[in-house]
Chain A
Amino acid sequence: MRHRAPPGWAARHWPALIAWAGVAIYLFPIYWMIVSGFKTQAEIFADPPTLIPHDPTLEAFHYVLVRENILRYLRNSVMIALPVTVITVCLAAIGAYAMSRLRTRLVDAALIAVLLLQVFPEALLATPVFIIFKSIGLVNTIPAVVLATSTRSLAFALVILRPMFRQVPIELEEASRVDGCTTLQTFLQIVVPLMRVPLMVVAAITFAQAYGQFVYPLTLLSSHELQPGTVGIYGFIGAEVSDWHRVMAFASLFVLPILALFLLLQNKIVSGITAGALK
């Protein structure tokens, strides 16, 4: 006979407890970032470190909201990230679908090419990219940044979506073909709806990557009004002096909208899971 103590609250809920504790520890650096926004610069470097600010101040947040107009930066970041997401998801969807259905060396070559094109650090690509857009007269425009940034997530999207497109059973497509649909109709009406969840995940990640894009906006946008938050944050870092508490306040506010977006999307993904992705 096995003797078991009656399961208590802890025994039932230990996965949740561990998870909450684990996430709290994992996110401690984020807490540190936010709390640093409420400290004076000197206190950030105090030894021993202060987990709760000794003289909390709203100065950094006030400066960032009022004098730096973080809302304009956020708006610009979104104005760049949205078109990038649309372009990337569309191109990646068709590309990954083709890669999953075609079985030729061409696909291998295309995949290798796409991966190789991603390798270069942006700092090195920035100069020739600037030259390209200067020669077509698009410097200091949002479309230039959108086009350049779209290249960043495209490879990732292709690589991720390809195996997932392959999981769509070919029989479904053949059935639809037998029904008289064209390849395009099959793609749009059968395949894409089944790929809702992965496409949404890819879109969310692409949006986040574009939101966090720094090098291209810095290089291609000289006008203060167009710059996104990632460039704005460097406004606090001067030649010798930096205002780190303001950097942290700025970052805390900057990350809020995108985090909210992801938390909301979590629910969509959940409903996608419970409905069954590939039923």
Chain B
Amino acid sequence: MRRRDFLLHGAAAGAALANAPAFAQAPKTVSLWHIYNNDSDMIHLGIRKFHEAQTDYRIEQRLVPYVQINPELIRAIATGSPPDLVTINDPDLASYSSQGQFTDLTDRVAASKVIDVNKYFKGPQTSDRWKGRQYSVAREVNTLSLYYNVDMFRAKGLDPDKPPTTWSELAAAAEKLADPAKGVYGLGFAAQQSEQSTFQWLPWLWQAGGSIDKLDQPEAAEALGFWADLVQRKLTSRDVINQPQGDVMSAFLAGNSAMVVNGPWELPRFRREVKFEWRVTLLPVKDGRNIRASSLGGFHFAIPKGAKEVDGAFRVIEAMSDPALFREGWSASGLLAPRSDIEIADPAWPQAYAVFREQMKTAIQRGPHPQWSQLSRPIQTAIQEALTGTKPAAQALKEAAAKIQPILARTPL
């Protein structure tokens, strides 16, 4: 069914229910701006169920292209006409909440019978908060793990039941799997000059024992050096510095990359495009360190300041936290529930599901920091400098640290 049909269907159902009791009020409208252009995304099921379950509110949804959600919200705020409910990307949350542009939801969440904060994974719990108060509710989460091509493993004499678990094993496997004559690279990751490269690199930084406020320390240099080394040895294509995660996955599906670091949102593509056996495994840890960490991504619901229907919007948030939605969320979009107590029985891609859920336990949020973009950009530059060989990793990171220190001094992470 197309998006519009969902609306009409919901309206008809709402109208039918509204006609029954004689003293029913006209439903109030909750405007919802979201980015889900996939017709089978769970948000449409959520809207339908919301309309069927009650008659006080009707959702009026607006689909905003993903790259435009921030500019559109900003324009709405600037003209004093924000939507009631909006979906915002994880690292951007603190920028809005620290400036008071999101409604404080702490008390509502505490009183809610549907939302139990303690059941949420640690990552989204942290990014939903700013200075002890909660300003958003995670809708879905995702993280990064390692995909690998089982057929290629077998072809090169590697055991697919024993995928790499440490960095050295990973590098060794990449070396075995790389086949320049056939245009096959061992490992792929995204290093495009955008938030994507930061998102992809942070797990390595954390697993090395480093942190964003200590980029000038050897741990960070080791993490970036590992990436640079793979590129230099041609086990990873140099083109990764121009590739977002979608392109990296395309290379995997086309058989040009034996292993890739990527997230579960790519899984729906596997239905039509994959022609080989594949599996997912946890991100390999650094030898000797054994710190398991991965990145956290996903969108959150927030109620902008000045929204007209705050109560209605919150009820929508509660409705969207219905566990029944997440089965569709997973199989249609590869999105994980932000709560550890929701587990889908018999999911699509069960092996991948188990691994990603396990990885979620160690998924760390970016920030939260109101100037996250200004922390991320020097990191992106350092990554690009190291991967192109313009500067050695340690020096690139030192310069990045110099740019980041003043920002962190003003507002620590």
Listed in ascending order, the chain A residues whose CB lies under 8 Å from chain B are 40-48, 59, 67, 69, 123, 126-127, 130-131, 134, 218-219, 222, 224-225, 231, 234-242
For residue B247, which residues in chain A have a CB less than 8 angstroms away from its CB? 45
Complex Cα spacing A68 to B297, Å? 28
Number of interface residues of B (CB under 8 A): 44
Complex Cα spacing A43 to B251, Å? 9
CB atoms of A130 and B4 under 8 A apart: no
Contact with A along B253-267 (1 / 0, CB 8 A): 111100000010110
Q: Which residues between 220 and 279 of chain B lie within 8 Å of chain A, taking CB atoms?
A: 245-247, 250-251, 253-256, 263, 265-266, 268-269, 272-275
CB atoms of B81 and A40 under 8 A apart: no
Contact with A along B88-106 (1 / 0, CB 8 A): 0100000000000000000
CB atoms of A42 and B253 under 8 A apart: yes
For residue A238, which residues in chain B have a CB less than 8 angstroms away from its CB? 35-38, 66
CB atoms of A47 and B183 under 8 A apart: yes
CB atoms of A240 and B245 under 8 A apart: yes
For residue A59, which residues in chain B have a CB less than 8 angstroms away from its CB? 272
CB atoms of A131 and B78 under 8 A apart: yes
For residue A47, which residues in chain B have a CB less than 8 angstroms away from its CB? 183, 251, 254, 256
4 extra A-B contacts, CB within 8 A, seeds A45-B250, A236-B37, A240-B246: A42-B269, A67-B39, A127-B75, A127-B78
For residue B89, which residues in chain A have a CB less than 8 angstroms away from its CB? 239
| Interface CB pairs A-B, < 8 A, 18 | A40-B272, A41-B253, A41-B269, A45-B247, A47-B251, A48-B183, A126-B71, A127-B71, A127-B74, A131-B78, A235-B65, A237-B66, A238-B37, A239-B35, A239-B265, A240-B142, A240-B245, A241-B246
Question: Contacts A130-B75, A240-B266 known; A41 to B299 CB distance under 8 Å?
Answer: no
Partner of A134 from B39, B79, B256 at Cβ < 8 Å: B79
Question: Contacts A41-B250, A45-B250, A127-B74 known; A239 to B66 CB distance under 8 Å?
Answer: yes
CB atoms of A43 and B254 under 8 A apart: yes
CB atoms of B256 and A241 under 8 A apart: no
Kindly provide the distance from the CB of B140 to the nearest chain A CB, expressed in whole angstroms: 10
Complex Cα spacing A131 to B79, Å? 6
CB atoms of B62 and A222 under 8 A apart: yes
B67 within 8 A of A: yes
CB atoms of B246 and A219 under 8 A apart: no
For residue B411, which residues in chain A have a CB less than 8 angstroms away from its CB? none
Listed in ascending order, the chain B residues whose CB lies under 8 Å from chain A are 2-4, 35-39, 62-63, 65-68, 71-72, 74-75, 78-79, 81, 89, 142, 183, 245-247, 250-251, 253-256, 263, 265-266, 268-269, 272-275, 297, 299
Complex Cα spacing A45 to B89, Å? 28
Closest to A235 in B: B37
Closest to B61 in A: A224
For residue A67, which residues in chain B have a CB less than 8 angstroms away from its CB? 2, 39
Partner of A219 from B67, B75, B272 at Cβ < 8 Å: B75
Give the top 8 A-B pairs by smallest Cβ distance, nearest first: A45-B250, A234-B65, A42-B253, A42-B273, A47-B183, A240-B265, A239-B66, A46-B254
CB atoms of B68 and A218 under 8 A apart: yes
Complex Cα spacing A218 to B75, Å? 12
For residue A46, which residues in chain B have a CB less than 8 angstroms away from its CB? 254-256
For residue A131, which residues in chain B have a CB less than 8 angstroms away from its CB? 75, 78-79
Complex Cα spacing A241 to B249, Å? 10
CB atoms of A44 and B78 under 8 A apart: no
For residue A130, which residues in chain B have a CB less than 8 angstroms away from its CB? 75, 78-79
Closest to B243 in A: A45
CB atoms of A42 and B250 under 8 A apart: yes
For residue B39, which residues in chain A have a CB less than 8 angstroms away from its CB? 67
Kindly provide the distance from the CB of B46 to the nearest chain A CB, expressed in whole angstroms: 17
Closest to A69 in B: B2
Question: Contacts A127-B75, A218-B65, A224-B4 known; A239 to B299 CB distance under 8 Å?
Answer: yes
* Residue with the greatest number of chain A CB neighbours at <10 A, chosen from B3, B37, B72, B275: B37
Closest to B87 in A: A239
